[in-house]
Structure 1
C-alpha cells in the first residue's frame, strides 16, 4: 500500500487553471467569419476592366447624394459634441491630464484612459469615491457599481490647489444627479 507524506492538496479550480474564470476578464474576440464581411457585387466593374467612356466613369464616382454625412473631423470636436450640456443647464464636472479624462454630467460618468473608455449611467453607479494624496499631484476618482466592481482613474493635477476645486465641482454634480437617480429608484415599485 502506498501512502503520501505531507498535506493533501486538492486540484486547483478557477483562475489558476482557467483565466476566463476571473470575472471582468474577457478573452479575445473570435475572428469574423467570411460570411460577415461585406462582399462586392458580382456585377461590379473593376478598375482594370473599366473603359474610359463617361457612362462607366459616372457609375464609379460616388455622387454627393451617395456620400455619407461626415461628422467632426477632429477627435477633440467629437469629444465636445459628445459632452453636450445638460438640458436644464445643470452642473458638469470635467478633469483631464495628458492621458486620462473624467466627465460627470446629466447622463452619468465617463472615464477615459488612453484609448480605453468606460461610461456609467447614474442608475449603474453605487458610489463615487475621491482620494487626494498627502504628497504628490495624482487625484484618484473611483466609480463603484452595485455588483461590487470598481473602476479607478488617476488624474495628474497641475497643482495641489486643483484638488479642492475638483472635489467641489464633483460634489455639485453628485448632489444634482446622483440623488435624483436614487430617488427615482426608491419611488419605482
Structure 2
C-alpha cells in the first residue's frame, strides 16, 4: 500500500481563494494565460526611453468643451424658493428638498428623486429621542433612517417641516401611477 506525504488537496487556481475580487456569477475568474507581446504601433506600448514627440501627443488629444459644465453645475446648486427639510445627528442625516430625498448613514448614502418615491413615513417613539423617517419605493422596498434628537420637542418641528416639503414637491397621483406601473411590470414577469 502506498501512502502520500503532504496535502491531498489541489492548489486553488480560480475563485475567491485565488482572487479576492472574484464574485461567483458576476465576475469571471482571473485567467492565468500569459499576455501577448505588445504591439509596436501603440505609443503606450513603446519603450519608456522612446518618448512620443509633444506635438504628436497634443494632436491626438481632443480639447475638452467645458463651457457647458459650469452652467449645469450652477443650475443644480441654484437656490430654489421652496421648503427644505434637513435633520442630522452624529451619524445620520436626511435632506428633503426640490430634488428629492437624500439619506446618509455614516459613509453610506442614497438619493431618491420624487418620481422614485411611493410614500414617506415618519415615526416618533413614545419614549426615547430617535425620530424615524422611512422612504418607500413603488417596488415595495423601504429605506428607514433614525435621527437622534437633542430633545423630544424637535419631533413636532421636524414633522411640520417634512410635511411642508412633501406638500410642495411630492405628488400623490405620480406616486400611485408609478406604483401601478411597477405592479403591472411585476405581473408581466410572472
TM-score range (shorter-chain normalised) is 0.5 to 0.7
SS in 1 for 2:115: helix
RMSD (Å) for aligned C-alpha atoms:
4.2
The residue number in structure 2 matching 1:135 is 127
Report the equivalent of 2:72: none
Deviations 1:31-80 (CA, angstroms, capped at 9, x unpaired) = 5999xxxxxx97658997379xxx979999xxxxx89x8xxxxxxxxxxx
Is the alpha carbon distance of 1:32 and 1:109 closer, same or farther for their aligned partners in structure 2, counting shifts above 3 Å?
farther
Match of 1:169 among 161, 166, 169: 161
By how many angstroms is 1:90 displaced? 0.8
Q: Which runs of 5+ in 1 are unaligned?
A: 1-26, 35-40, 61-65, 70-80
Superposition map of 1:13-92 within 5 A = 30-31=26-27, 44=43, 49=49, 85-86=79-80, 89-92=81-84
Larger Rg: 2
Q: Does 1:159 align with 2:151?
A: yes
CA offsets per residue over residues 7-41 of structure 1, 9 Å max, x none?
xxxxxxxxxxxxxxxxxxxx78945999xxxxxx9
Deviation at 1:182, TM superposition (A): 2.9
Distance 2:28 2:107 in 1: 22
Q: Give 5+ residue unaligned stretches, structure 2.
A: 1-22, 31-38, 58-62, 67-74, 178-190
How many aligned residue pairs are there?
Answer: 142
Instruction: Measure, in 1, the Cα distance between the counterparts of 2:127 and 2:103.
Output: 24
Distance 1:186 1:132, change over 3 A: closer
| Secondary structure of residue in 1 paired with 2:157 | helix
TM-aligned CA deviation for residue 85 of structure 1: 3.0
**SS of the counterpart of 1:146?**
coil
TM-score between the two structures when normalised by the length of structure 1: 0.54
Give me the whole-angstrom Cα distance separating, in 2, the residues matched to 1:83 and 1:116: 22
Is the 8 Å Cα contact of residues 50 and 56 (structure 1) preserved in structure 2? no
